[in-house]
Structure 1
Amino acid sequence: MSARSVGLPSRVPAPGLPERVTIWEVGARDGLQNESGVVDVGVKLEFLDRLADAGLGVLEATSFVHPKWVPQLADAEQLLAGLRRRDGVSYPVLVPNERGLDRALAAGVEHIAIFGSATETFAKRNLNRTLDEQFAMFEPVAGRARAEGLDVRGYVSMCFGDPWEGSVDPAQVVSVGKRLLDLGCSQLSLGDTIGVATPGQVEVLLAGFTEAGVDLGRIAVHFHDTYGQALSNTLASLRCGVSTVDSSAGGLGGCPYAESATGNLATEDLVWMLDGLGVQHGVDLAALAATSAWMAGQLGRPSPSRVVRALTG
């Protein structure tokens, strides 16, 4: 029997998992911003349309980072103007500062995300701020956004390892995360930016947030698959009570801070696992895999997702 004829995995529900998981799809933003070339805005719009057709309810669409730093997303306004918005689908955008928020508000955005660092070195390299100074930059962004009725998500990078500092103290991650939540973020996404985490680390960090009084319903996880650990780390997170998982259709994206990084957790690989565990998510796997195969064709290379290759190869 071929992989294509299998279609879906056998369902064997496991105890202690969420009944339903929200998939926060980041392919159009986190995935495409790592491309060496600029993808045509028409392709991006079709990509987002196809992802919505496949049943994904959260599509992180683009970023209002200065085009000098992320030229791949310099078309943010054009993309949002051409977006065919769907009822029941949210389209968050990444916003680095007040100027980015101005652009987001002008574009009619309803959901934004700010991105901080759990380490001193990455804060300086990525934000040109110290670990403490980054919060002075985020405070007016989050405050103004909430005053305008926008939902605000917080990202924390380098939660498990930093290429310059090595292992990261979980207590430091919890401290940074709590400060972002205190600024008004409704949700916190914990990022394994260089893909070095293992399930034990994940459990320890999530326990730290629980001990600090943070409801894990407000926590999302964002794993990179550099060392092949993204799915196992995700399963560990679900067992701890997390029910929002970031992923990228077809495994789009890469990590510029580690050689041979294979990018984000592929949404199809996540969906296959969730289907096998009997966890609801609302995504049509066949439609999603076809979308990722189509996008891989647009980019001129095979999809790194094993599930995409199995179902469409």
Structure 2
Amino acid sequence: MEQQRLVITPAPHLKSGESVGKAMRDTMIALVPVTLVAVYFFKAYALFLILICMGTAALTEIAFRRFKHQPHRLKDGSALLTGLFVALCYSATTAWWKGALATFIAVGIVKELMGGLGWNRFNPALFGRVAMILLGPWFVDIGTEFMRWNVNFGPVDVMTHATPLAMLHQGLKMPAMGSLFLGFPGGAMGEVSPLALLIGGGYLLYRGHINWRIPVSILCTVFVLAAITGQNPFLHLVTGGLMLGAFFMATDWVTSPITENGKVVFGVAIGVLIVIFRIGLAPTEGVAFSILIMNAFVPTIEKMTRRLPFSEPRKTAARHITLPGSNI
């Protein structure tokens, strides 16, 4: 009788061929459409800022990993992807040093100092962007010193007035809906084409890297609340980087809930905050602030929506049993 060998291995027992490197590569592929649209509109300005942010991300990871006596992980592409995200959160004509500082904060502080890949509590790219907004007054002197190092690639077709989201907030006449959806040179580079972002988001859904519950919950919540408050819900969907936040930022594996119900709660809460920012507060960067605020509540959401293991006893109400012939 042939003897069979029993192999015992520790959990987890479900394995797949997926890896961090493949996921980062697919996400970069998903960002190609919106990046190409940004380059089409902003030419060399867009390419320059993207290269600055991605180069800063690579150098920052190498420096911090060496400081911690650990080898760098540039091969997995996570740092480069963070740099690309930071660049897309800025307008193409943003001073290069602002993008570099935001990337340094995102990769060096939010990722590496919080434990490295997979341990950060907040979305690194959004944290770096918001940090530059909050700390902006502190960098006035630095900006004055670096002004002479600013680059000029000639004229570029950008909006010199309010961005589409600001125009919507102020009640001004909006550009045509089709133009805003297909491609419009206003705001950050990641806002120029909701259609390109939908194509990228669809690719990530097809590859199984993101779950539909978070983006759908965000978009539906914004749509419904905007309609209830008398706003044009379609304009809210195609302005202000909502698509970038819903499909690429809020769905970050590390900073979003892992439970199915938790994803819905997370998405709905982000949508509510976005509408509050856009209607009741300053609309600029409302998506970024909303996602970062809810990142802080992810552990609580997971705890509230987790499924109890079969071995864990469930809390049940004590039953009052009356025995025959007794008053108990």
What's the TM-score, normalizing by structure 2? 0.24
Name the larger-Rg structure: 2
Name the structure where helix makes up a greater proportion of residues.
2
Name the structure where strand makes up a greater proportion of residues.
1
